[in-house]
Structure 1
């Protein structure tokens, strides 16, 4: 993997982690609202889970292959 790719992945990871954290804050606030739109809350939770999976995938790309 080239240095440019590594830097791109690291930058993307930072962006995704920020979005994931922000979504967590929004979900927490909405979950405490008795008038919350349950469908919107469900969509936000699904997006947060997708971000978590994407973060894990990018982190695994940055870990050097032990068999190399």
Structure 2
């Protein structure tokens, strides 16, 4: 998968991977449909950071989720 291409399929992939890595219990808290390609670079940066981190503290998870909430296009 070429994540340098801005499209909805890549957004869905990255959001699913972030949810898996964070081991979110409530997976509905992040919906890929709430993100647009306009903020793709920021989402991709968060995705790369999450994939690099071996583990997450509660504070890390809260900060990551807050950053993702700020990128959403719909409430």
- Please give the range of the TM-score, normalised by the shorter of the 2 chains: 0.3 to 0.5
With normalisation by structure 1, the TM-score equals 0.37
TM-score computed with the length of structure 2 as normaliser: 0.34
Greater Rg, structure 1 or structure 2?
A: 1
Between the two structures, name the one with larger relative contact order (CA 8 Å, sep ≥ 6): 1
- Larger helix proportion, structure 1 or 2? 1
